[in-house]
Amino acid sequence: MVAMLAAGFGSGWVAYQLGIASLKGVSQPDINPAKKFTNDRTSYGRNQTFIPVKEEEVLKRVRVYMQQQKNKPQSKDETKG
């Protein structure tokens, strides 16, 4: 039991030290990159309200597309398989 605790503590300590060493050269950016998008009032879609898509309409379009793909004549390359 003591050996298991010692092994767990030892592997945790090694992982912690490796994590610290790997992040030594990493720092936070001086500014928040996402802020440039929130402050830009001229960006596309900024003045539009969100309108959710109706699931039924999406399913109809998918079914039509799948039917078109099924009825589409296959090219010679696809039939050689």
Give per-residue pLDDT as tens, 38-59. Answer: 655 555 555 678 889 899 999 9
The mean pLDDT of the chain is 82
What is the pTM for the complete model shown? Answer: 0.35
Q: What angle do CA 39, 45, 46 make, to 5 degrees?
A: 30
* Domain extents in the chain: 1-71
Residues 6 or more apart whose Cβ sits within 8 Å of residue 36:
none
Looking at residue 46, the DSSP 8-state letter turns out to be T
- Spans in the chain with pLDDT lower than 50: 81
Q: What is the C-alpha separation between 11 and 3, in angstroms, rounded? A: 12
The helix (H) or strand (E) run that includes residue 73 is none
Longest dimension (CA), the chain: 71
pLDDT of res. 46: 59
